[in-house]
């Protein structure tokens, strides 16, 4: 029976204790795999997470002609080699399962001069526009034809340009970076996304021979190779997934346990730790690890004058949108009232009805805002995973609830969290993966 037909049986109410380490950042691994198509030399990626979305992307680039092989004796190490010109037709049956397939547009356009991009899939959290990608590639010289099932981009040559992105799109920035890497002359990307995974892609491209200034800022300057100088092979380590770290902070806090998170990538946790502190959750750095102490008060900190605090997402270095589901379920176990404002996607908060069915006190004001009043004792229930992040939120809720919960559609959780049941069982969680 396939993983999509299995469920988690979860018995909550037990504090999680022990040591855990985050996997590599999925949102970095996917564009790195796409960027490996830019060179005819091998690219080695380390700390690659063994998750469904990564396996889907590997399948796509293999279809395009890349040889993808794990390095024997080195878990998480993958070698990608595309000696010949890769194909330009992204298979629609695979791309519709994976939003990250959109990051192939820039590398394939730069390497082959043509790409047909089927409409990508991914989480159903609202409209996810591709305009920023298309406009950036057009600025570099691409011609675009729109079809009912996707987009065809062609370019006889790519020429550097001064580009202003109409939104700080992560994947739009990544596509523009990869195309600019092989364009003629200098490209300036303004209003660029600066998330850690965008920085990771920049660092890989630099290792491959591309000159990039402004890494980590919102203005990137790329000196393209002009298609004449071949990009080199390189080795790059995927950074730890700060979204996993945030999820582990929540799990420790709401279950009343004490957890040490190793390899926590502390510099990229400043805003996440700050937001958890507003919910009364303390975290302590220990070298490169982060400790979540047990028996915390979980007292929501009011704004000045006693006003209800407001937690909202924003482009990096603001609070990550992908953490919204986790911070919302965490707030249900904290004493006080908080407004959660998710600005980006109009369907991400629709999972709160599952939390309400478990006993949470939440008012969904509109598609973007929810008021959470806690603490609310949660009871086990039958719930489903509508997307990766909401799936993790439901797992957190089930582990702090009294009684047994059944979580359906766990394939969504597996897309973003490697062997999460096995890893949490080592912390004392009671989780079984069973047939539906």
What amino acid positions are annotated as catalytic residues? 123
CA distances from 246 to 164, 241, 346 (A): 32, 9, 22
Burial 321-342 (b: 16+ CB within 10 A, else e): bbbbbbbbbbbbbbebbbbbbb
Pairing assessment for the beta strands 162-164 and 150-154 based on DSSP bridges: unpaired
Q: Which helix or strand (DSSP H or E) is residue 106 part of? A: helix 105-112
Do strands 162-164 and 186-190 pair parallel, antiparallel, or not at all (unpaired)?
Answer: parallel
Contact 130, 116 (CB under 8 A): no
Q: Is 64 left (phi over 0), alpha (psi -120 to 50) or beta?
A: alpha
- Contact, 103 vs 53, CB < 8 A? no
- Report in angstroms the alpha-carbon separations of 397 from 289, 330, 359, 427: 25, 8, 10, 16
Q: What angle do CA 131, 51, 323 make, to 5 degrees?
A: 60
Question: Measuring CA to CA, which residue among 172, 181, 176 is closest to residue 211?
Answer: 181
* Residue 327 φ/ψ, nearest 5 degrees: -65, -30
CA gap 298, 317 in Å, rounded: 25
């Amino acid at each position: 029976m396939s993983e999509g037909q299995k469920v988690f049986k979860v018995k909550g109410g037990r504090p999680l204790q022990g040591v855990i380490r985050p996997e590599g950042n999925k949102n970095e691994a996917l564009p790195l795999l796409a960027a490996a198509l830019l060179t005819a030399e091998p690219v080695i990626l380390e700390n690659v997470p063994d998750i469904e979305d990564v396996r889907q992307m590997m399948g796509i680039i293999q279809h395009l002609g890349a040889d993808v092989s794990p390095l024997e004796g080195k878990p998480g190490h993958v070698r990608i080699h595309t000696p010949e010109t890769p194909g330009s037709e992204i298979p629609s049956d695979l791309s519709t399962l994976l939003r990250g397939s959109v990051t192939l547009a820039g590398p394939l356009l730069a390497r082959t001069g043509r790409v047909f991009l089927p409409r990508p899939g991914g989480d159903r959290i609202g409209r996810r526009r591709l305009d920023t990608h298309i406009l950036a590639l057009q600025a570099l010289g691409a011609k675009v034809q729109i079809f009912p099932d996707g987009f065809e981009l062609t370019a006889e040559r790519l020429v550097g340009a001064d580009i202003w992105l109409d939104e700080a799109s992560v994947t739009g920035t990544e596509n523009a970076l990869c195309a600019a890497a092989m364009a003629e002359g200098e490209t300036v990307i303004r209003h660029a996304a600066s998330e850690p995974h965008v920085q990771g892609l920049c660092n890989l491209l630099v290792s491959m021979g591309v000159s990039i200034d402004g890494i980590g800022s919102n203005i990137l300057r790329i000196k393209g190779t002009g298609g004449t100088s071949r990009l080199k092979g390189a080795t790059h380590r995927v950074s730890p997934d700060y979204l996993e770290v945030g999820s582990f902070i929540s799990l420790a806090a709401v279950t009343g346990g004490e957890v040490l998170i190793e390899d926590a990538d502390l510099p990229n946790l400043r805003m996440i730790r700050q937001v958890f502190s507003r919910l009364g959750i303390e975290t302590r750095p220990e070298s490169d690890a982060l400790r979540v102490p047990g028996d915390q008060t979980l007292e929501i900190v009011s704004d000045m004058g006693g006003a209800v605090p407001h937690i909202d997402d924003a482009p990096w270095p603001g609070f990550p949108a992908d953490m919204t589901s986790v911070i919302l379920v965490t707030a249900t176990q904290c004493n006080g009232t908080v407004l959660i404002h998710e600005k980006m996607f109009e369907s991400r908060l629709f999972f709160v009805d599952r939390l309400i069915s478990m006993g949470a006190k939440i008012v969904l004001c509109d598609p973007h805002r929810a008021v959470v009043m806690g603490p609310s004792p949660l009871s086990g229930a039958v719930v489903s995973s509508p997307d990766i992040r909401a799936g993790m939120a439901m797992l957190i809720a089930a582990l702090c609830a009294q009684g047994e919960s059944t979580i359906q559609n766990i394939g969504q959780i597996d897309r973003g969290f490697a062997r999460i049941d096995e890893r949490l069982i080592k912390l004392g969680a009671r989780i079984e993966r069973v047939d539906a």
